[in-house]
Amino acid sequence: MEKYLGEDSLLLLLAAMFVLFMAVRAWHHGALEMLWTLLSWSVGGAVSALAFRHGPNLLITHGGIALDEGQRMVASVIFAVAAFAIARGLIVWAIRRAFGPESKLGGWMYGGTGSIISVLPSLAFLVLLSLLIRGTGTMFELESVDRMSAAGSPEDRAKYAALPGPTRWRNGLEGLPNVAVILDTVDPLATPARRNLAALVLASYHEGLRSQLRRSPITATVAKHPITVELTEHSPDLASLVAGTDGEFKYYRLLRHPKLNLALADAELRNSLEQVDVADEIRALVSGRSMPPRKKWLEKIFS
């Protein structure tokens, strides 16, 4: 099976089949409903993500309102929901007005033109789905690193050494040609360099793993870098964040922490972080052995 259908080929085939299915559906039933559904959800999702990330800054910088971490998270959610509702409503209204049955352009929604128009929202939906897969995989990966690092005994640490399922899907997705580059451009929060640095910070606040990472030939360059040492030994705010119990919000806050932003501005460190897989090396260290080559999920099914 692997000889004829690799994992990357299967993912590309599924994406192409989705786009083709939506194009055929638009040919026969029109693209209007699909256009406002997919496009409104896609644009609404993108706008809500921006509002989630930047909305509270408006209150802080322009409203003069001080927010602690908990209040900031609540404000982010409120901004995201409001932005999604407004963006989706505007998109639906605009599309109905421009391409509705009574409009001059209504005929474009059927036949060949309808199929062509359907490609845009289909691709937008696939990009958002890819971002969701990547974000989920990154959160699961950081959670597993956190659990491995915090476990009290080598036996307990080894329990969390398995690669999480959503992370396998993320790795398979990023293995597709140019997909990682596109996703890095759209969503810089889960780039390999940033998530590697976040994993390094999580593990390095546990003394045993910190020394192991600095001795490992795979991670020594990034673990002993002066900027990383500053982050992992002289940053009380990061230490408090790592010790917190906010679940996935903790990992999100870590990924977007200002000190990580400053660290990644250093080209040398950023390039070094892009060349390693810190989470994989942590799994190898806590397992007390070299990790076997990572199996792709398709191989696991058919092996």
Residue 118 lies in a domain: yes
Q: Which one-letter DSSP state was computed for residue 109?
A: G
Report how far apart the first and last C-alpha atoms of the chain are (Å, whole number): 9
Whether residues 169 and 188 fall in one domain: yes
Please report the pLDDT score of residue 59 as a whole number. Answer: 66
The per-residue pLDDT for range 1-25, each reduced to its tens digit, is: 233 345 556 777 788 888 888 788 7
Say which residue, 261 or 15, is predicted with more confidence.
261
Nearest-5° angle of CA 112, CA 116, CA 122?
135
Residue 97 lies in a domain: yes
Nearest one of 148, 218, 176 to 15, comparing CA atoms: 176
The per-residue pLDDT for range 34-58, each reduced to its tens digit, is: 777 777 776 777 777 667 666 676 6
Whether residues 64 and 203 fall in one domain: no
Indicate whether 168 pLDDT > 60.
yes
Whether residues 89 and 149 fall in one domain: no
Mean pLDDT of the chain: 78
Whether residues 141 and 289 fall in one domain: yes
Last residue of a domain, one of 125, 158, 179: 125
Last residue of a domain, one of 125, 154, 185: 125
Contacts of 240 (CB under 8 A, 6+ apart): none
Whether residues 192 and 248 fall in one domain: yes
Give the confidence band of 291 by pLDDT, cuts at 50, 70, 90: very low
Residue 30 lies in a domain: yes
Residue 222 lies in a domain: yes
Whether residues 189 and 292 fall in one domain: yes
Report field, pTM of the whole predicted structure over 0.95 = no
Whether residues 103 and 164 fall in one domain: no
Please report the pLDDT score of residue 178 as a whole number. Answer: 82
Q: Are 238 and 259 in contact, with CB atoms under 8 Å apart?
A: yes
Whether residues 81 and 180 fall in one domain: no
Find the mean pLDDT for residues 149-164.
72
Residue 1 lies in a domain: no
Last residue of a domain, one of 99, 125, 151: 125
Whether residues 116 and 149 fall in one domain: no
Q: Are 274 and 223 in contact, with CB atoms under 8 Å apart?
A: no
**Total number of domains in the chain:** 2
Residue 81 lies in a domain: yes
Please identify which residue in the block is written with the tokens 């908990």. 70
What span, in angstroms and rounded, lies between the C-alpha atoms of 215 and 296? 29
Please report the pLDDT score of residue 107 as a whole number. Answer: 64
Contacts of 21 (CB under 8 A, 6+ apart): none
What span, in angstroms and rounded, lies between the C-alpha atoms of 118 and 105? 15
Residue 213 lies in a domain: yes
Residue 2 lies in a domain: no
Whether residues 156 and 109 fall in one domain: no
Range of the structural domain that residue 233 is part of? 134-302
Say which residue, 104 or 270, is predicted with more confidence.
270
Please report the pLDDT score of residue 303 as a whole number. Answer: 41
Please identify which residue in the block is written with the tokens 């929604």. 109
The per-residue pLDDT for range 194-242, each reduced to its tens digit, is: 999 999 999 888 767 888 899 999 999 999 999 999 998 888 888 888 8
Nearest one of 159, 163, 192, 157 to 291, comparing CA atoms: 163
Whether residues 72 and 139 fall in one domain: no
Indicate whether 72 pLDDT > 70.
no
Radius of gyration of the chain (CA): 22
What span, in angstroms and rounded, lies between the C-alpha atoms of 24 and 44? 25
Find the mean pLDDT for residues 290-303.
44
Whether residues 100 and 168 fall in one domain: no
CA–CA distances in Å: residue 198 to residues 80, 191, 202, 257, 259: 24, 11, 6, 9, 11
